[in-house]
Chains A and B, each alone.
Chain A
Amino acid sequence: GQNIDQPTEMTATEGAIVQINCTYQTSGFNGLFWYQQHAGEAPTFLSYNVLDGLEEKGRFSSFLSRSKGYSYLLLKELQMKDSASYLCAVRVYAYNTDKLIFGTGTRLQVFP
């Protein structure tokens, strides 16, 4: 089966750091992606990990541990515009498929 878990909601203060966790159990794994989605808009790509470790991209970092089925997205120096849903997605690739399996998303609210 396919199962991806992430918290439903989180709150944080402007300028702070927040970590959004994601755990997964999927049949097949070919990378873990994080997307940001503002209300009523398309998901936009933030980061991906395929090997264990930390990937840093400006204020955003993403970590992966494949043995633990665990990832997190770290957002630093939070800004009001970071208020959005953050979607964790596992890419499942096989000879007859190529698709993303998404978690339900974590809605982050940043307060002044």
Chain B
Amino acid sequence: GAGVSQTPSNKVTEKGKYVELRCDPISGHTALYWYRQSLGQGPEFLIYFQGTGAADDSGLPNDRFFAVRPEGSVSTLKIQRTERGDSAVYLCASSLKGGAGLSTDTQYFGPGTRLTVL
């Protein structure tokens, strides 16, 4: 079956511009996660959705970052007034249930969007 997909695969933008990154989770997965990975580092948690609601957005670095999941499936990560420090690979993951405390609830990752802010 289809895995997690993300578009675009690469995004180059200029400092101060607005960008949107899209994630299509595995069909039927209710939980969706966004992470950010800088070169040579492990992924860093940004936000967790259970259904349509953001259950935990404590990882968003500041108020320039916002994410939505209006119908409980596709999610969009939005970054306003981009800065050079926002350059990273943005990874999306989904899991079947999430939030149920089931350790078998594995997160499956998409290929990521490489964002470069010039």
B70 close to A (CB within 8 Å): no
Q: In the complex, which residues of chain A have a beta carbon less than 8 angstroms from the beta carbon of B56? A: 96-99
Is A98 in contact with B48, judged by CB distance below 8 angstroms? yes
Taking residues whose C-beta sits less than 8 angstroms from the other chain, chain A's interface range is 20 to 34
Given contacts A87-B42, A87-B43, A98 and B55 within 8 Å (CB-CB): yes
Query: Which of B44, B98, B108, B112 has a CB less than 8 Å from the CB of A102?
Result: B44
Q: From DSSP, what is the main secondary structure of chain A's interface residues?
A: strand
Of residues 8 to 58 in A, which have CB atoms within 8 Å of B's CB atoms?
30-31, 33, 35, 41-45, 48, 50
A101 close to B (CB within 8 Å): yes
Is B42 in contact with A102, judged by CB distance below 8 angstroms? yes
Q: How many A-B residue pairs have CB under 8 A?
A: 67
Is B45 in contact with A99, judged by CB distance below 8 angstroms? yes
Is B106 in contact with A33, judged by CB distance below 8 angstroms? yes
Q: In the complex, which residues of chain A have a beta carbon less than 8 angstroms from the beta carbon of B40? A: 104-105
Is B109 in contact with A99, judged by CB distance below 8 angstroms? no
Q: From DSSP, what is the main secondary structure of chain B's interface residues?
A: loop
B58 close to A (CB within 8 Å): yes
Given contacts A97-B55, A99-B45, A102-B42, A30 and B91 within 8 Å (CB-CB): no
Given contacts A42-B91, A104-B42, A96 and B103 within 8 Å (CB-CB): no
- 1/0 per residue, CB under 8 A from B, across A99-110: the answer is 111111100000
> Which partner residue on chain A sits nearest B57 by CB separation?
A97
Give A residues with C-beta under 8 Å from B. 4, 30-31, 33, 35, 41-45, 48, 50, 87, 89, 91, 93, 96-105
10 intermolecular pairs with C-beta atoms under 8 Å apart: A31-B103, A41-B111, A43-B109, A45-B106, A87-B42, A97-B48, A97-B55, A101-B45, A102-B43, A105-B41
Give B residues with C-beta under 8 Å from A. 4, 31, 33, 35, 40-45, 48, 50, 55-56, 58-59, 91, 93, 98-99, 101, 103-104, 106-112
